[in-house]
């Protein structure tokens, strides 16, 4: 069955190595969407640019533009698991997200993205996620309900006024020098564009890491991010020689197989003082990491 969504938007960022055309960027940005799908949308005039023009297949890549497009999905992959609403009041929604579910519509996941699922479940069309959680990561994510109060909840993350705890199972190939680390470095976009890398420069990524136990070459870790850079926890664990089990991007890009475990990274706990009511909130996911540790 054909499902057509409301228009989506995609900002074109400044890249170290930009593609020649916006069409090429769309193919790279959404690898699960076949190039012929983008060609059909372009030919039907379904993709507009923020400068008021329709996208052509040869339109050059220009950072700063926004692409507006509609997605038509004929058959979406089935969800293995449903999201669980942990808490709801007049201003916020806290949800326990399954592995493999993108927070916002992406590629073939439109109706089955967390945001659209929650909108349908709750009838709250103004829901907006307040922070980032990778598709492959499970666990807690905070949503704002009221657009007028959204900036106040964004401030919790921008001003580091929220406590976040993650659990991870990672490979431990050699004895580690200690059980606690504070990783401070700089993370920027890598190559390909969907990977990140640690570079020299001013610190923009901080994580405190605690090793809980090691069994048969696998370690269970607690992670406390103090910043929220993309793929920060995955890179910081890999930087101490402990890549997360099930990670298809770090230390090297690998193709996921059906028998591979999901990324063993879980957003376990969120705690904060509500900026509107002053109430103290602390939420814990009922999920746990696996892989035998």
Domains defined along the chain, listed by start = 3-73 (3.10.290.10), 84-161 (3.30.2350.10), 163-266 (3.30.2350.10)
Cα radius of gyration rounded to whole Å, the chain:
20
Contact in structure between 166 and 139 (CB atoms under 8 Å): yes
Nearest alpha-carbon partner for 225 in 290, 270, 287, 284: 270
Count Cβ atoms below 10 Å from residue 249 Cβ, excluding itself: 21
Q: Which residues contact 279 (CB under 8 A, 6 or more apart)?
A: 273
Exposure string over 102-119, b if 16+ CB within 10 A, otherwise e: bbebbbbbbebbbbbbbe
pLDDT tens digits, 14-42: 898 889 999 999 998 888 777 888 888 88
d(CA 85, CA 141): 10
d(CA 120, CA 114): 10
Residue 64 has pLDDT above 70, yes or no: yes
pLDDT range class, residue 70, cuts 50, 70, 90: low
Residue 184 has pLDDT above 90, yes or no: yes
Q: What is the pLDDT of residue 9?
A: 83
Following DSSP, what letter does each residue of 200-220 receive, concatenated? Answer: SSS--EEEEEEEEEEETTEEE
206 vs 16 pLDDT, higher one: 206
Most confident of 31-40, 61-70, 129-138, 235-244: 235-244
Phi, psi of 8, rounded to the nearest 5 degrees: -110, 160
1 vs 247 pLDDT, higher one: 247
Q: Taking residues 132-160, what's their average pLDDT?
A: 93
Q: What is the pLDDT of residue 293?
A: 39
Range of lowest pLDDT (105-114, 159-168, 236-245): 105-114
Mean pLDDT (the chain, rounded): 88
DSSP 8-state secondary structure symbol assigned to residue 5: P
d(CA 138, CA 20): 35
Q: Taking residues 64-82, what's their average pLDDT?
A: 67
pTM of the model: 0.74
Q: What is the pLDDT of residue 109?
A: 46
pLDDT range class, residue 71, cuts 50, 70, 90: low
Q: What is the pLDDT of residue 43?
A: 86
């Amino acid at each position: 069955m054909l499902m057509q969504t409301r228009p989506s938007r995609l900002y074109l960022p400044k890249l170290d190595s930009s593609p020649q055309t916006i069409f090429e960027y769309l193919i790279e940005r959404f690898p699960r969407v076949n190039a012929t799908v983008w060609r059909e949308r372009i030919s039907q005039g379904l993709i507009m640019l923020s400068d008021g023009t329709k996208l052509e297949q040869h339109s050059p890549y220009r950072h700063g533009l926004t692409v507006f497009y509609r997605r038509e999905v004929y058959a979406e992959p089935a969800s293995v698991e449903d999201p669980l609403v942990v808490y709801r009041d007049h201003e916020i929604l806290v949800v326990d997200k399954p592995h493999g579910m993108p927070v916002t519509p992406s590629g073939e996941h439109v109706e089955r993205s967390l945001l659209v699922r929650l909108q349908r479940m709750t009838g709250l069309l103004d829901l907006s996620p307040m922070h980032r959680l990778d598709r492959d990561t499970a666990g807690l994510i905070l949503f704002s309900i009221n657009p007028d109060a959204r900036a106040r909840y964004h401030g919790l993350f921008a001003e580091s006024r929220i406590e976040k705890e993650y659990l991870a199972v990672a490979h431990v190939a050699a004895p580690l020098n200690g059980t606690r680390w504070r990783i401070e470095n700089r993370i920027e976009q890598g190559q390909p564009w969907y990977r990140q890398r640690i570079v020299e420069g001013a610190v923009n990524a901080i994580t405190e890491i605690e090793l809980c136990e090691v069994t048969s070459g696998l370690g269970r870790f607690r992670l406390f991010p103090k910043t929220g850079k993309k793929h920060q926890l995955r890179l910081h664990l890999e930087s101490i020689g402990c890549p997360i089990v099930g990670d298809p991007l770090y230390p090297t890009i690998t193709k996921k197989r059906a028998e591979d475990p999901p990324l063993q990274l879980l957003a376990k706990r969120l705690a904060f003082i509500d900026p509107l009511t002053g109430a103290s909130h602390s939420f814990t996911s009922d999920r746990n990491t696996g892989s035998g540790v």
